[in-house]
Amino acid sequence: MTDHPPRSVLLASPRSFCAGVERAIEIVERLLDQRGGPIYVRKQIVHNIHVVRSLEARGAVFVEELSEVPPGATAVFSAHGVSPAVREEAGDRSLEVIDATCPLVAKVHAEARRFADRGDTIVLIGHAGHEEVDGTLGEAPERMVLVETAADVEALEVTGPVSYLTQTTLAVDETAEVVEALRRKFPQLRGPGSDDICYATTNRQIAIRDVAARSDLVLVVGSKNSSNSVRMVELAARGGTPAYLIDDASEIDPAWLEGVSAVGVSAGASAPPELVDEVVAALRERGAVSVSTHTTATETISFTMPSAVRRAD
């Protein structure tokens, strides 16, 4: 076997599943345990292909739109939330809805309704086409405008009171720049009482920044449609460390490891923790490694389950 130089693996912590993701997955798992399949899920329950495949194997059926769900069936809304129009459609089709929307996304929806009711124009900071953004925009489409960058702010033409909200999975530093641009343009700007970017997104970004500063290479486990995972890769790269997003260990390119003595590893909030273990095992196969964990926060948050799937204790 070819000798490899010793390599250190720096595990960022927190990483992998957050409370909202765990809750959403458990909702589908409990429904499958209690009722068997099929259980229909609108969109991916969370943005991770391994999670989706695992639930499909147990009887979950993922659909793009509710029109694909038989009338009267059980339908689960994903962690990313849905618009009022989707809820109305579910009622029209007599579907039994189990809502797996992350409570922190639901908070943003409630803020959108409150800001709209008081007559504000709401600037939503987020990524066009993301399911969470589509759901939030649907709360008050006639009163909301979407921006992605500070440059977008300059093009806004708005009169009257202005408030802002954000997608929960954005890069903290980039979002701060957009909010600052909004404050310059609209000095009376109002925002949410607490940050909309969720604790898990923030914590994983802080952790990956810490690890990236000590690494020659960063690997983030997550699917390409996972916003928080993509932001982690971008954050590491902005700090000057080569960084790659991988769905699992099979996507590691050996060329990335040439001349690398320290590899930072993390995972987005929707990526199963066992995938990180597999990445570490794959790195071991490519030479001796020492593994250390670098913790920047401890997460203790959990969310209650919907009454329809709650177990009796």
User: Which of 102, 120, 136 delimits the end of a domain?
Assistant: 102
- Give the residues across from 292 on adjacent strands: 10
* 287 or 305, greater pLDDT: 305
Rounded CA separation 152/179 (Å): 11
Q: Which of 26, 132, 234, 258 is catalytic?
A: 132
Q: Regarding beta strands 39-42 and 289-295, do their DSSP bridges make them parallel or antiparallel, or are they unpaired?
A: unpaired
pLDDT tens-place string over residues 72-84: 999 999 999 999 9
The answer on 96 and 124 residing in a single domain is no
User: Which of 80, 102, 124 delimits the end of a domain?
Assistant: 102
pLDDT tens-place string over residues 190-199: 999 999 999 9
User: Which of 157, 185, 213 delimits the end of a domain?
Assistant: 185
Backbone angles phi, psi at 49, to 5 degrees: -65, -30
Structure letter (DSSP) for residue 307:
G
Average pLDDT over residues 284-310: 94
Question: Quick check: is 312 in a domain?
Answer: no
Question: Quick check: is 246 in a domain?
Answer: yes
pLDDT at 149: 96
Rounded-to-10 torsion of CA 143, 146, 151, 157: -20
Average pLDDT over residues 198-227: 98
Average pLDDT over residues 291-300: 97
Q: How confident is the model at residue 311 (pLDDT cuts 50, 70, 90)?
A: low
The answer on 92 and 48 residing in a single domain is yes
The answer on 241 and 220 residing in a single domain is yes
Tokens of 44: 């991916």
Question: Quick check: is 300 in a domain?
Answer: no
pLDDT tens-place string over residues 2-15: 455 579 999 999 99
Tokens of 242: 């080569």
Q: How many domains does the chain have?
A: 3
Indicate whether 156 pLDDT > 70: yes
247: exposed, middle or buried (Cβ count in 10 Å: 0-12, 13-18, 19+) = middle
| CATH assignment at residue 71 | 3.40.50.11270
pLDDT at 52: 98
Average pLDDT over residues 80-91: 98
What is the residue range of 109's domain?
A: 104-185
The answer on 155 and 113 residing in a single domain is yes
Of 99, 94, 89, 85, nearest to 66 by C-alpha is: 89
Indicate whether 182 pLDDT > 60: yes
Question: Quick check: is 193 in a domain?
Answer: no
The answer on 112 and 94 residing in a single domain is no
The answer on 40 and 71 residing in a single domain is yes
pLDDT at 288: 81
pLDDT tens-place string over residues 224-281: 999 999 999 999 999 999 999 999 999 999 999 999 999 999 999 999 999 999 999 9
pLDDT at 1: 40
Average pLDDT over residues 209-235: 98
Question: Quick check: is 2 in a domain?
Answer: no
Question: Quick check: is 302 in a domain?
Answer: no
Q: What is the mean pLDDT of the chain?
A: 96
pLDDT at 313: 41
pLDDT at 190: 97
Annotation marks residue 132 as catalytic:
yes
Indicate whether 298 pLDDT > 50: yes
